């Protein structure tokens, strides 16, 4: 089962463009955690994200896209980064999230990735025929 662990750092919604972690000790502890995920064979992907002030949101009204550049004043929580892990259960994903050396100002949300077997029998054929589904299977 694949899960995303989403890092939600408080205050990141107002971070200046180009803001990067500067605390060497915190960066080192996070790298050790990432290496532990890798050594355990559960890590599929991970990345940190630049602050929303460098991003854009595309909303749709009546099929027309509207681009809004960051920052986004209405945002209360934003992503600072993510991990994708492959584990046997939701409980195991939660246990990995609990091991993260996060600070008091950070929250990790754990979300299961939708798999083909999660869909109804009516929808599965559409997904199986999709070139995207074939592309996703290359990583297995």
Strands (E), 70-130: 81-86, 106-112
Is the pLDDT reported for residue 111 higher than 60?
yes
Instruction: Give the CATH fold of the 2-113 domain.
Output: Alpha-Beta Plaits (3.30.70)
What is the rounded CA–CA span in Å between residue 124 and residue 74? Answer: 37
pLDDT at 135: 57
**Average pLDDT of the segment spanning 65-92:** 93
Question: Which single residue is written with the structure tokens 């259960």?
Answer: 89
Question: Rounded to two decimals, what is the model's pTM?
Answer: 0.86
What is the rounded CA–CA span in Å between residue 125 and residue 132? Answer: 13
pLDDT at 139: 54
Task: Produce one character per residue of 19-28: b if its CB has 16 or more CB atoms within 10 Å, e if not.
Answer: eeeeeeeeee
What is the rounded CA–CA span in Å between residue 69 and residue 52? Answer: 9
pLDDT band, residue 102 (cuts 50/70/90): very high
């Amino acid at each position: 089962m694949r899960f995303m662990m989403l890092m939600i750092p408080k205050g990141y919604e107002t971070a200046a463009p180009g803001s990067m972690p500067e605390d060497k000790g915190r960066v080192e502890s996070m790298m050790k955690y990432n290496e532990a995920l890798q050594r355990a064979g559960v890590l599929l992907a991970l990345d940190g994200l630049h602050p929303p002030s460098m991003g854009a949101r595309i909303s749709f009204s009546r099929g027309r896209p509207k681009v809004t550049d960051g920052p986004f004043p209405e945002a209360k929580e934003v992503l600072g980064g993510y991990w994708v892990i492959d584990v046997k259960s939701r409980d195991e994903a939660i246990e990995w999230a609990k091991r993260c050396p996060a600070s008091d100002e950070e929250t990790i949300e754990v979300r299961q990735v939708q798999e083909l077997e999660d869909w109804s029998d009516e929808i599965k054929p559409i997904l199986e025929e999709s070139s995207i589904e074939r592309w996703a299977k290359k990583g297995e």
